[in-house]
Structure 1
Amino acid sequence: MSTPTPAIGQRWLSDAETELGLGMVIEVNPRTVTILFPKSEETRVYARQNAPLSRIRFNEGDAIQDTDGKHWTVSTVHERQFVLRYDVMDENGETATLAETKLSPNIQLSRPSERLLACQLDNNEWYELRVMALRAREKLARSPVAGLVGPRVGLIPHQFYIAHEVAQRMAPRVLLADEVGLGKTIEAGLIIHQQLLTGRAQRVLVLVPDSLQYQWLVEMRRRFNIDFSLFDLTRTAAIREHDEDQNPFSTEQCVLCSIDLLIDHPDLTEDALGAKWDLLVVDEAHHLAWDEEAPSEAYQLVDRLAQQTPGVLLLTATPEQLGVASHYARLKLLDPARFPSLEQFLEEEEAFLPVADAARKLAAGSVDDDTLSILRDFLGTVPDINTDEGRQDALRQLLDRHGTGRVLFRNTRDAIRGFPERECLPVPLTPPANWPMSGPVRFQLWPEVQAEDDAWVDTDPRVPWLIKLLKQLKQQKVLLICRTAPVALALEELLRLKEGIRTTLFTEHMSLLERDRAAAYFAEADYGAQILLCSEIGSEGRNFQFAHHLVLFDLPANPDILEQRIGRLDRIGQTDTIHIHVPYMAGTAQERLFRWHHEALNAIGRISPTAQVVHQYHQGPLKDLLQAPTENADAFEALIAEAVADREQLEAEMQSGRDYLLELNSCRPEGALKLVETVADQDDDLMLEDFMGRVWSAFGLEHDDQGDGSHILHPGDHMLVEAFPCLDADGMSVTLDRVQALSREELQFLTWEHPMTLGVLDLMTRQPFGNANVALIRNKGIKPGTLLVEAWYRLEVVAPRYLNLPATLPQLVIRVLLDGEGRDLSARVNHDTLNKQILVLERSTARQVVKMQDEIIALRARQAEKLANEQLPALQQQARDTFTRTLQQEIDRLKALQAINPAVRPQEIAALEHHLEQGLKHLQHLHLVSDTLRVIVAG
């Protein structure tokens, strides 16, 4: 078709300067045409032959805007004296006729067909990038591990099992009670991340003890890319000062604060209660002391919040150490209706003991007649237990019906295994003459803290011992933790300046960036620091599994803090025995404190689940005996013997009371392994690195491949968008390798779920980048001049994210490929095969193709959309069937369980029934969105 004849009043668009807006022809001469661009108040004169202009013509169904800013939908199009007139209708049904002269100059062409026919063309690279984004969005929406891929955590099966089991519930209410070192914080973070990413939760409140605020803040940011706002008295006061009527807790979506802040300030408690949360998380929940007559303030606070918050996570490593009553009280916070009284809870626990024994025998494959009788009583119909499949089926049924299995998850080191050994290496030293042997206990235990300057390093025997140790260990990594920053600083300066040892420091007086750099320098294998010297903050929030030597330069009084210190090395992922060096002054309070921790509590050479309970019980006498270490030797020996007896009795009771059924329910190995394998498969997806590399180049970022799997990104001078998603203004380093991300915390871990990646996918959905392209193909089997039209469509349904309706669709993308005659080639030629033959077509030539073939292109685009829409009813029905089947199966399962397991809450079933109703309603409005259009011409 020839180029349209210019006429006064027509609307044209500049191909080269689309930012000028919609132009109007104001003068036509034999050789030139003059166009006014009202939006930019510019006038351009173009040669009529080969002018870089495109005639704008809207079609039936298109949305347009008039010069008054009113929006209309085109009904029909007429042409009179070369000028178009549109019959239009607004959203209220009002009709009108608009000449194209009345169209708003602020045109925003976004539909692929509009942009292509207006010659707003993207190059081949942009088009392919958009197709990659389209496919990635489909893959993400249908992922069985959505929400679990993005966090920077190791692929530990039991952690992923718990996270997946809990996070897929609507408003989960559970107690996470894994033993110390098994990763309760990581489990909670995975659950929070998945709940936020899937839309099941939007507002989260985390309550922690004062000492753990920083650890949680760092963990959530570094591992899970969740920016929690830390609320303290200063912050809440500042918000109030700005607006006295503003509820501080309503200003942020994810809030982290100390539980003591709310207890000490009742007005803030009321604010927190009035803010309304989707998910409440409480760490160290064993501190919520409870008595039937007088529960503690902390317990009452959490109880009030839990009553009005749909989802609740309680974290504790000691579910029953403080007594069965306290354990019951925490379960009561989760579901008061399920746990109405302590007496009933004790009866149920007693009844489940033989069931747990039966489960143990089932798992071992040794089922006797008594076990079979128990199974019949509990299950009714028993599968064939003579086969592995039958025993597994029976075990699954037992686990499904277990009383507290749905609200309580507890994994133990004995069950998980794979942990390193600990070797306690005591170092008795002769105290100097000036060592304090009397006075306050803290002066005797930590005299260096009381010193006015750093002169103590010249006389303290621990200093030359430390220097000797470091020289003996040579290049082996050593972590040293002491109580205060000044002590760590004094040691670091001496080792670095006087001994030439590579050191680095980690204290609360350093900025977060400085601490990151220190940790990275320590982690560097060949040229990094040999020793990292930390104040007590080093025992919180950071893990250094690559180091195998820990120096406890001093000992904390509290065994929980001691375990925090050792836990920096004693983690899942540690590959060697942990050597714990404990220097102390012989014959002093230091030696007695060491013996207390090592002999009485057994808290250095191994995890001691009873240490804190035994320590608190004997705390008074211990302090008195520490104060006078040269006296009362017999009394101290008697105290140790009494503490050992108490500890052994408690440990025996815990072992005999181990709930094997609960441990099995907390990690079903086959399901857990399948989960981590699925996540690992997504980690190995090479498409992500290719996609992000193309994205960085296309959007104008400066990026350098470091050759070790990491990339350095910086904002470029000519970036396509002003604010690229989640790019730090000063630049950032990223890696796509999980192992590297775990060892180098200064690197961002880039996955399909990272905010940068999700931001890019969202940006490319909202903006027309790459959605219109004209390309060349050379193929001997295709006649030159042949036209192909490739169109992509997104299936979209407007619905709350928590319904996860995209996952029910058999496909989220429809591709249609037509030739110039309208023949459907979609099934015969796939995109990848076609794309390998695509060549670049010069921009001027591409515009000529569009202008000459605009009518046939428009016709094929409409045909493609018609063909895509014809597939919609079948896809819609499949989605409805899948959604109904999935939810109805779970509803039926929970109803059957509810009859035998009261831990299934009626609210949970009612919520699922409501979601089923809502989901089916929203699926009625499934629709297509034209995403991308490519014209291919054979040459």
Structure 2
Amino acid sequence: MQQFAIGQRWLSDTETELGLGIVIDVDERSVSILFPKSDETRVYAKNNAPLSRIVFNVNDELQDQEGSTWKVESFEERFGVIRYHAVRTLDNGELERKTLNETRIGAQIQLSKPLDRLLASQVDIKAWYDLRIEALQMQANMHTNPLRGLLGARVGLIPHQLYIAHEVGKRFAPRVLLADEVGLGKTIEAGLIIHQQLKTSRAERVLILVPDSLQYQWMIEMRRRFNLNFSIFDLTRTAAMRENDPDLNPFQTEQYIIASIDLMIDHDDLREQALAAGFDLLVVDEAHHLMWNEEEGGNDRYDLIEEFAEQTAGVLLLTATPEQLGVESHFARLRLLDPQRFSNLDTFLDEEDKYKETAKIAEVLLSDAQLNEQHLVVLDHLLGHRIQDVPEQRYQAIQELLDRHGTGRILFRNTREAIQGFPGRDCQPVALAAPENWSKNGKLREQMWPEEAQIDGSWMQTDPRVTWLMETLRKALKHKKVLLIARSGPVVEALENVLRLHAGIRTAMFHEGMSLLERDQAAAYFAEDVNGAQILLCSEIGSEGRNFQFASDLILFDLPSNPDVLEQRIGRLDRIGQENRIQIHVPYLLGTAQERMFRWYNEALNIFNQISPTAQTLQENFIAELKGHLLADLGSSFDELLQAVTVQRQALEKELQEGRDRLLEYNSCRPVVAQNIVNALDNYDDNSTLPMFIKQFMSSTNIDFDEQSNGTVIIKPTDQMQVQGISLDEDGMTATFYRDQAQIREDANYLTLEHPFVESIMEMIRTQSFGSTNVALLKSNAIKPGTVLIEIWFKIDVVAPKALNVLASVPSQLIRVLLSENGQDLSQKIDAHILKPHLKHLDGNSCRQIVKARREVIEARYTQALDIAKVHLPKLQEQAKINYSKQWQYEIDRLVYLKQFNPSIRQDEIDRLQKLQKEGLERLDHLSLTPEAIQILVAVKP
């Protein structure tokens, strides 16, 4: 175990950008390190801390905290802390000597490890050196890529989702309402935003609060699509943690947490602990359940979220029905996001009335209709200047209206009508005669789902739905992929057993009793075209978090009691990417509660034929009457109820349609910008060099890499692996590099530069000595045999908080210097890719002899290369500051200007941007060089 003492200086092996740290606290199990330059503190377990002790040797150079450079003459250790006796030459030529405790050393540090390793004859193979350079280049490109955070998600290139994610994810502390209609992917949008916020270090701790039934769905969605391992915190888990340590705050033990809203409401102590733990980003699903009115205030859910929103910088609220439950509740949700902007309901209503004029003229601009004089006058009033009716000025006017007016910066709502691309859906009802023993009285559960009580499966002998299912799969749907959803796992298992053993049908199951791996395998088997399962039988969790757009036939073996759950079921197929009309097969038993429930959904709510944004509200409004009719056949009064609800539904739908805000919809997906993002991602996918890089890395480090005919690869560790510290399980992984394949094969990891496995490789290369030295033969007729060339790569570093992303503004993050043995600078004359084909690996013994024989030349040229690289720093620093200032100033100026017209621009957002701009510019004053790799080339005849 490493020995720690307060005052010692250590470097993080995994986060060298933090600078030089100092031990501030040590106990039996942990050590706390303060990194002054980045103003961050880390706590490590003593027995496996990824830290390196920094000790300077005689003649090494170090910097004090004032930035002065000193050369070590001698040093001594006292109580574990080193004192350096150092000297420097003053401007007048005199020597100044000083004794420095290591506590007084500056936080910036330059490492010369590649040279030290080379001179110690620790020479890597050529393949490793090449991989290191390629990895450094890929990492540098990633820092400057505007799509960072969007590249690694297992999602289709759907414009409106990517637009919202890019628009919101790049903000600091975003506070928005995601209100797309059902089936348009709000969860994906939220996941993309979370992923981008985390990858760009704008957030580090995330709390997702959802209803109980959605916890598992969110966990799976975050893991499968974004490789984010959220932990579900329920009462059992938190109680177990506190039982072991009563003083423990469970919410401080994880970075990414999913919890139930009801858990927080029912347990004040857990709510207080969650609030005390502090999070950077809060995500709330089903936000339409947050009710509020001006007289009575909020319900318990609203009050809970208001408390969290006040203490959390970033807030995402998700709802498919932003205004459905009344304008007061809609206003209240906006109030959660920005209480200063939305402080008064009457003022909000007045602004909404005025905004209707803006929305109307925007609709004209978005259409092909010509602008008349009245339109031009209105636009002059709204914009403050007159426009001409030409495409360019119409487009510019739309952009100005979007920025200046309404709630566009905090409210995003896409509709199916605006997005389009949905083939539609048809209901295929199947009326079956009820068996004599079917319960038509008693509890609703006994009438609707009696099979759940017969765990021995005896119900299958008399239930006509079973016979119908077998016949339908063997005949009408014989050549189709079919998804079946039922309420419970035991029902699914019983049906699967009958279909597989008695009907000879290829089946797969998906239910809560299976492990995640088993579910992935079942979904993959169902996705196979030729030899895959014909039918996937799912319990209710099959309606959560999985999408099967390649199938278009859905069998609802039973009906849920909640229209939202029914829509979730249908939404597994009726989503973006579906190419065929959805056929919804609904078997039900005549004269039973099943028939009446079907009629309610079909006739009153019209939920089988289209998305029904009013369904949940209508059912809540009529729940008492509905329950009475489900429990018993009350005759014609049921028809009257259906007719009354139908009339109310149609009126609500008309009101919603008339209230469509096309300007808001356009702002939620600006087509040109959205398509540019799609094109950029598509181009990135097509030109990725990652597959070849990973293949070469696996080959050179003795990791199994087996390419399959179906577009996947199998990666497995071996006993001969030559690297440590990469994220690869003992069982290995199935993976793919292709987005389309990843959409179908959810059991396969989607490998990108943002996948944890690839990130672990890059991190290992960056923080370890892998490939940092090489000696090779250079076949050339132009260079005298025996001549030595020295190639050295330096990386630009700056100690700064990750969230500032200052490196993205540096024009070149890598500096390559190529010198001849007599000191001629060949860096610009001979490019690295020109040399590569002419290089040949050299055996280890020959490498050592060359290094030993040319040691003095290598050291001299290294010093020269460092001086040459330093010459580049002032110019790079100047350009970086210009880039950084422009990047932030553009957004600052834009928001300052817009704030004159749009009160939804928050002053604290502008202040924060100005503060971050200033801090980043200060950090760029301290660019430094880190030597990353050194290669010795010995010329030989071809």
Considering the TM-score relative to the shorter chain, is it more than 0.5?
yes
Quote the sequence identity (%): 52
Which residue of structure 2 lines up, in the alignment, with residue 390 of structure 1? Answer: 393
Report the Cα offset of residue 723 of structure 1. Answer: 3.6
Whether contact under 8 Å (1:232, 1:257) holds in the other structure is yes
Whether contact under 8 Å (2:76, 2:84) holds in the other structure is no
SS at match of 2:283: strand
Whether contact under 8 Å (2:85, 2:99) holds in the other structure is no
Question: Does 235-244 or 660-669 show the bigger shift?
Answer: 235-244
Which residue of structure 2 lines up, in the alignment, with residue 424 of structure 1? Answer: 427
SS at match of 1:936: strand
Which residue of structure 1 lines up, in the alignment, with residue 61 of structure 2? Answer: 61
The match for 2:184 among 182, 185, 189 is 182
Report the Cα offset of residue 500 of structure 1. Answer: 1.3
Distance 1:769 1:722, change over 3 A: closer
2-structure distance, mates of 1:191, 1:226:
12
SS at match of 1:230: strand
The match for 1:154 among 153, 156, 174 is 156
Which residue of structure 1 lines up, in the alignment, with residue 662 of structure 2? Answer: 660
Q: Within the alignment, does 1:748 sit opposite 2:749 as a pair?
A: yes
Which residue of structure 1 lines up, in the alignment, with residue 318 of structure 2? Answer: 315
Whether contact under 8 Å (1:109, 1:115) holds in the other structure is no
Which residue of structure 2 lines up, in the alignment, with residue 22 of structure 1? Answer: none
After superposition, residues 142-541 of structure 1 pair within 5 angstroms as: 142-292=144-294, 293-365=296-368, 366-382=370-386, 384-451=387-454, 453-472=456-475, 473-541=477-545
SS at match of 1:871: helix
After superposition, residues 831-842 of structure 1 pair within 5 angstroms as: 831-842=832-843
Q: Within the alignment, does 1:626 sit opposite 2:627 as a pair?
A: no
Which residue of structure 2 lines up, in the alignment, with residue 818 of structure 1? Answer: 819
Which residue of structure 2 lines up, in the alignment, with residue 680 of structure 1? Answer: 682
| Amino acid across the alignment from 2:388 | I
Alpha-carbon displacement from aligned partner over 1:526-564 (angstroms, at most 9, x marks no partner): 111111111111111111111111001111121111101
Report the Cα offset of residue 88 of structure 1. Answer: 10
1-structure distance, mates of 2:856, 2:98:
25
Whether contact under 8 Å (1:110, 1:767) holds in the other structure is no
| Amino acid across the alignment from 1:144 | P
| Amino acid across the alignment from 2:446 | F
SS at match of 2:551: coil
After superposition, residues 788-799 of structure 1 pair within 5 angstroms as: 788-799=789-800
Report the Cα offset of residue 733 of structure 1. Answer: 0.9
Report the Cα offset of residue 787 of structure 1. Answer: 1.6
The match for 1:561 among 561, 565, 580 is 565
Which residue of structure 2 lines up, in the alignment, with residue 780 of structure 1? Answer: 781
1-structure distance, mates of 2:85, 2:773:
22
2-structure distance, mates of 1:663, 1:533:
37
| Amino acid across the alignment from 2:426 | E
Report the Cα offset of residue 679 of structure 1. Answer: 1.5
Whether contact under 8 Å (1:72, 1:89) holds in the other structure is no
The match for 2:552 among 548, 570, 575 is 548
1-structure distance, mates of 2:112, 2:693:
23
Question: Does 558-567 or 431-440 show the bigger shift?
Answer: 431-440
SS at match of 1:761: helix
1-structure distance, mates of 2:287, 2:918:
37
2-structure distance, mates of 1:596, 1:520:
35
Whether contact under 8 Å (2:76, 2:83) holds in the other structure is no
Which residue of structure 1 lines up, in the alignment, with residue 591 of structure 2? Answer: 587
Q: Within the alignment, does 1:611 sit opposite 2:612 as a pair?
A: no
Whether contact under 8 Å (2:75, 2:84) holds in the other structure is no
Q: TM-score, length-normalised on structure 2?
A: 0.89
Report the Cα offset of residue 429 of structure 1. Answer: 1.1
Which residue of structure 2 lines up, in the alignment, with residue 729 of structure 1? Answer: 730
Whether contact under 8 Å (2:112, 2:930) holds in the other structure is no
Whether contact under 8 Å (2:714, 2:735) holds in the other structure is yes
Distance 1:667 1:490, change over 3 A: same
Which residue of structure 1 lines up, in the alignment, with residue 902 of structure 2? Answer: 901
Q: TM-score, length-normalised on structure 1?
A: 0.89
Whether contact under 8 Å (1:59, 1:74) holds in the other structure is no
Whether contact under 8 Å (2:86, 2:100) holds in the other structure is no
Alpha-carbon displacement from aligned partner over 1:769-821 (angstroms, at most 9, x marks no partner): 11111111111122212221111110011111111111111111111111122
Alpha-carbon displacement from aligned partner over 1:653-711 (angstroms, at most 9, x marks no partner): 11111111111110001101111211122222341011111222333322211133211
CA RMSD of aligned residues (A): 2.1
SS at match of 2:121: coil
| Amino acid across the alignment from 1:430 | A
Which residue of structure 1 lines up, in the alignment, with residue 739 of structure 2? Answer: 738
| Gaps in structure 1 of 5+ consecutive residues | 1-55, 78-86, 96-107
2-structure distance, mates of 1:816, 1:789:
8
Alpha-carbon displacement from aligned partner over 1:151-190 (angstroms, at most 9, x marks no partner): 1111111001001100111100000000000000000000
1-structure distance, mates of 2:721, 2:97:
39
Alpha-carbon displacement from aligned partner over 1:33-83 (angstroms, at most 9, x marks no partner): xxxxxxxxxxxxxxxxxxxxxxx9976538999785766889799xxxxxx
1-structure distance, mates of 2:149, 2:870:
31
Distance 1:775 1:76, change over 3 A: farther
| Amino acid across the alignment from 1:211 | S
1-structure distance, mates of 2:712, 2:554:
30
Alpha-carbon displacement from aligned partner over 1:229-285 (angstroms, at most 9, x marks no partner): 110111111221122111111111111000000101011111111111111000000
SS at match of 1:836: helix
Which residue of structure 1 lines up, in the alignment, with residue 605 of structure 2? Answer: 601
Alpha-carbon displacement from aligned partner over 1:822-874 (angstroms, at most 9, x marks no partner): 11111111100111111122322222222221111111111111111001000
Distance 1:94 1:431, change over 3 A: closer
2-structure distance, mates of 1:122, 1:74:
35
Distance 1:90 1:714, change over 3 A: farther
2-structure distance, mates of 1:597, 1:183:
23
Question: Does 551-560 or 110-119 show the bigger shift?
Answer: 110-119
Distance 1:74 1:867, change over 3 A: farther
Alpha-carbon displacement from aligned partner over 1:118-145 (angstroms, at most 9, x marks no partner): 2211111111011101101111001010
Whether contact under 8 Å (1:111, 1:930) holds in the other structure is yes
SS at match of 1:352: helix
SS at match of 1:690: helix
Whether contact under 8 Å (2:82, 2:101) holds in the other structure is no
2-structure distance, mates of 1:494, 1:90:
84
Q: Within the alignment, does 1:693 sit opposite 2:699 as a pair?
A: no
| Amino acid across the alignment from 1:888 | Q
| Amino acid across the alignment from 2:408 | G
- Which ranges of 4 or more aligned residues in structure 1 deviate by more than 3 Å? 56-60, 62-77, 87-95
Rg larger in structure: 1
Report the Cα offset of residue 619 of structure 1. Answer: 1.3
| Amino acid across the alignment from 1:317 | A
1-structure distance, mates of 2:725, 2:883:
39
2-structure distance, mates of 1:137, 1:492:
48
| Amino acid across the alignment from 1:707 | S
1-structure distance, mates of 2:720, 2:851:
29
Alpha-carbon displacement from aligned partner over 1:738-780 (angstroms, at most 9, x marks no partner): 1111111111110011111122112111111111111111111
Distance 1:348 1:810, change over 3 A: same
